[in-house]
Amino acid sequence: MTREWTVFSAQCPSRQSLARIANKWTAMIIILLHEQPLRFGELHRGADGITKKVLADTLRALERDGMIDHATHSDGHGRYELTELGRTLHEPLRALQVWAESHVEDVLDAQDRYDTAADEQTLGH
């Protein structure tokens, strides 16, 4: 019997996966690791603004979820790399990256319109 999972159910474990995938740092790490395995410092530099603690926590969670592996290479340095499962996330997360970068001006314009209208309402009342 095949079990049906739905993120709309409060008890469904797929909610944890969705929350992890929807995290901005997860998306950046998956996209960065798509091209090649990277060391911790390379990931830290690549995901500008992430703290070392948040990076370590995110990497640990992604490793636990089976999305990445941490392996020591022949040069003696540890590198993180995508697993087969992790590679399945690259395309949808890359699509989100492209959308976000392509529509940043639209979002900024919408925010300005919203803020202007909210300011006018506040001043009018």
Domain count, the chain: 1
Mean pLDDT of 26-50: 96
Here the CATH number for the domain that contains residue 63 is 1.10.10.10
Domain, as residue range, for 19: 14-124
Residue range 39-80, pLDDT digits in tens: 999 999 999 999 999 999 999 999 999 999 999 888 888 999
Q: Is a pLDDT exceeding 80 seen at residue 125? A: no
Q: Is residue 6 in some structural domain?
A: no
- Extract long-range pairs of 95-101: CB within 8 Å, 24+ residues apart: 96/27, 97/27, 97/31
In a domain, residue 109? The reply is yes
Q: 53 or 20, which is more confident?
A: 53
User: What pTM was computed for the model?
Assistant: 0.83
Kindly provide the b/e burial profile for residues 1-34, where b requires at least 16 CB atoms within 10 angstroms of the residue's own CB: eeeeeeeeeeeeeeeeeeebbeeebbbbbbbbbb
Distance of CA 50 to the CA centre of its chain: 12
Residue 9 inside a domain? The answer is: no
Q: What are phi and psi of 41, to 5 degrees?
A: -60, -35
Q: Which of 70, 71, 90 is nearest to 28 (CA)?
A: 90
Q: What digits encode the pLDDT tens for the residues 110-120?
A: 999 999 999 88
Mean confidence (pLDDT) of the chain? 93
Residue 7 lies in a domain: no
4 within domain boundaries: no
